[in-house]
Amino acid sequence: MWSRVDEFYAQRLVGDDEGLSEALRANAAAGLPPIDVTPALGKLLHLLARSVGARRILEVGTLGGYSTIWLARALPADGEVVTCEVSPRHADVARANLDRAGVGARVRIVLGPALETLPDLQGPFDMVFVDADKVSNAEYLDHAIRLSRPGALVIVDNVVRGGRVVDDADDDPAVVGTRRLADALAADPRISATMVQTVAAKGYDGFVLGVVEG
Residues 19-49 pLDDT 10s:
999 999 999 999 999 999 999 999 999 999 9
How far from 196 is each of 6, 75, 85, 131, 210, CA to CA, in Å? 16, 25, 26, 15, 11
- Rounded Cα gap, residues 103 and 96, in angstroms: 10
Region 157-186 average pLDDT:
96
The dihedral sign for the CA sequence 180, 186, 190, 195: positive
Separation CA 123–CA 69 (nearest Å): 21
In which element (H, E) is residue 9 found? helix 2-13
Query: What is this structure's pTM?
Result: 0.95
What would the pLDDT profile of 85-138 be if each residue is shown by its tens digit?
999 999 999 999 999 999 999 999 999 999 999 999 999 999 999 999 999 999
Domains and CATH numbers, the chain: 2-212 (3.40.50.150)
